[in-house]
Amino acid sequence: MTTTNNSAAHKLTDGDLLKLIRPNILALEPYSTARDEFDGQHSISAWLDANESPYDNGLNRYPDPHQRELKKLIAENFGGRPEMVFIGGAGSDEAIDLCYRIFCRPGIDNAIAISPTYGVYGVAAQINDVEYRQVALNPGYTLSVEALLEAADENSRLMWICSPNNPTANSFSLDSIAELAERFHGIVVVDEAYFDFSGQPSAIELIEKYRNIIVLRTFSKARGLASLRVGMAFATPLVARYFAMVKYPYNVNGPTQQEIARRITDDVATHVAEILNERKKLVAALNNLPLVKEVFPSDANFILARFDDPDEIYDYLSGGGVLVRNRNRVAGCEGCLRITVGTPAENTLLLKLLTEWK
């Protein structure tokens, strides 16, 4: 049944949001670290509170469990306010898992997602014993607001919208996301991992008005820091506080916090511009190859293309030293390979191999 609401979602109060949170989470008394109990008003020369090694090797002290300074930098560079920021130590995947743990009662509640989309949403649902309802995108991978709402019922707590979407590479309008937030009784999670390549406005700007929106971002893509595994969630301060309560205490290690802080103002515009230029050239070249049946529009740093023999071409490319992602067995992506936009040299090798196919 469609879940509509006579009162607009942007009029939600903290009390309304609290009703979406699992009762056991509402009753949770979060773990308090040794440093949480210190008010910071005095100068300390002997740190004897946390059972750490006293021998300074640069790594012997626990990091800030709340990443206060890093949250300030993230808000300055990405938007929102520090109290709206959650930082995850496993890329966006930690925030995805926390959404289920905070809002979904195992065995009772359900989550709704577009299909095809990022596979971790479904895996995390299984791990948390939450029903995962997939709603197929329209032909051309467009979004149907009505179909998503029709899939919802009184136990629907989460709705996943990946934009730009993985693996289809296309974006969805902020108007559609706002309408979903307006009419859906639960939390709308907008995953913007590939936002920097899209040229689209961010849903972060909707959070102040639509308090049931959570926006995910990552340092793994345009920022080039995938090895550090750091992601972010932006939410209304009440929701962000529950993320902080439910996460494990030291979920982002000290060296990683320092490295992110050091690199957060790095100018990635040159790399992004090169990827966009290479994406344009790749799309044009792929469209001219007879073995390519369709190239879908891309707002991301990858391209989804349909081939006659995707499995054979995948094996052929890997044999030639080029690894792409075979999406042929994903519902809605039959016949498709997902191709990341690489360096000019990597893209040249890819096209050389495809040109020489049979």
- pLDDT for position 39: 74
Structure tokens at 55: 């021998």
**Domain boundaries defined on the chain:** 9-263, 269-355
Taking only the tens place, the pLDDT of each residue in 11-56 is 788 999 999 999 999 999 999 988 888 877 889 999 999 999 999 9
Is 269-355 the same fold as 9-263? no
Taking only the tens place, the pLDDT of each residue in 254-279 is 999 999 999 999 999 999 999 999 99
- pLDDT for position 12: 85
Phi, psi of 85, deg, nearest 5: -105, 135
- pLDDT for position 2: 39
* Overall fold of domain 269-355: Aspartate Aminotransferase, domain 1 (3.90.1150)
CATH 3.40.640.10 for domain 9-263, yes or no, is yes
C-alpha of 113 from chain center = 13
Contact of 319 with 295, CB cutoff 8 Å: no
pLDDT (average), residues 326-349: 97
Residue 7 scores a pLDDT above 60: no
Residue 209 scores a pLDDT above 60: yes
**What count of other Cβ atoms lies within 10 Å of the Cβ of residue 4?**
11
CA–CA dist 348, 83 (Å, integer): 45
How far from 130 is each of 57, 96, 115, 190, CA to CA, in Å? 44, 13, 17, 19
- pLDDT for position 9: 54
- pLDDT for position 40: 77
Which of 25, 87, 64 lies closest to 216 in space, CA to CA? 87
Q: Sign of dihedral through CA atoms 344, 299, 119, 216? A: positive
CA–CA dist 107, 84 (Å, integer): 30
- pLDDT for position 36: 85
**What count of other Cβ atoms lies within 10 Å of the Cβ of residue 301?**
23
pLDDT (average), residues 71-76: 97
Q: CA neighbours within 13 Å on the CB side: how many for 274?
A: 10
Which of 142, 206, 129 lies closest to 175 in space, CA to CA? 206
Taking only the tens place, the pLDDT of each residue in 125-160 is 999 999 999 999 999 999 999 999 999 999 999 999
pLDDT, the chain, mean = 95
DSSP letter at 106 equals: T
- pLDDT for position 264: 94
- pLDDT for position 257: 97
C-alpha of 228 from chain center = 15
- pLDDT for position 88: 95
Pairing of strands 231-234, 85-91: antiparallel
- pLDDT for position 1: 37
- pLDDT for position 336: 98
Taking only the tens place, the pLDDT of each residue in 281-325 is 999 999 999 999 999 999 999 999 999 999 999 999 999 999 999
Residue 84 scores a pLDDT above 70: yes
CA–CA dist 188, 201 (Å, integer): 17
Residue 4 scores a pLDDT above 60: no
- What is the pTM (predicted TM-score) of this model? 0.94
In which band, very low, low, confident or very high, does the pLDDT at 10 lie, cut at 50, 70 and 90? low
Question: Where does the chain have alpha helices with state H?
Answer: 14-18, 23-26, 68-78, 92-103, 120-127, 145-150, 174-183, 237-246, 254-263, 269-287, 310-319, 344-355
